[in-house]
């Protein structure tokens, strides 16, 4: 699990740095990725790129993993503190999308060293 956690930490670092190509390289071609703003999932790397591009035009999220553990189904759960800012770096007030400052669980499923599925769950 240590190798997988190291890769997930790189994904978080890349996401926070807005390194889309670096993060997409860690995803399977047909990845199913949770859409935290509108619900559901987007499918495939290019759909993830479009989702993040749309998200980052509206808000500036920052996600910081604070713990990792193995899920019963074999996935890896990252407990994450998510902070959402406006495009000027100020905390959001009265947002209308589904994103908010909170701690959530990010659930990753991997195959052959690539993320195949990403889900979001409320933290326990």
Write out the DSSP string of 18-50: T-HHHHHTTEEEEEEEE-TTTSSEEESHHHHHH
Average pLDDT score over the chain: 91
pLDDT tops 90 at residue 49: yes
Helix (H) or strand (E) holding 70: strand 60-70
Residue 68: the pLDDT is: 97
Summarize pLDDT for 3-40 with one digit per residue, the tens: 999 999 999 999 999 999 999 999 999 999 999 888 99
Domain holding 59, by residue range, is 2-122
pLDDT bracket for residue 99 (50, 70, 90):
low
Q: What is the CATH number of the domain that holds 90?
A: 3.10.450.50
pLDDT tops 80 at residue 75: yes
Residue 100: the pLDDT is: 67
Please count the structural domains in the chain: 1
């Amino acid at each position: 699990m240590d190798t997988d956690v190291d890769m997930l930490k790189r994904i978080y670092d890349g996401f926070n740095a807005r390194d889309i190509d670096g993060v997409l390289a860690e995803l399977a071609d047909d990845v199913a990725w949770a859409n935290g703003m509108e619900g559901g999932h987007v499918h495939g790397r290019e759909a993830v790129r479009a989702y993040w591009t749309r998200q980052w035009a509206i808000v500036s999220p920052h996600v910081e993993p604070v713990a990792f553990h193995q899920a019963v189904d074999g996935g890896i759960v990252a407990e994450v503190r998510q902070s959402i800012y406006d495009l000027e770096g100020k905390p959001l007030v009265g947002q209308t999308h589904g994103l908010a400052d909170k701690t959530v669980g990010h659930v990753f499923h991997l195959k052959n060293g690539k993320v195949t599925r990403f889900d979001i769950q409320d933290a326990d």
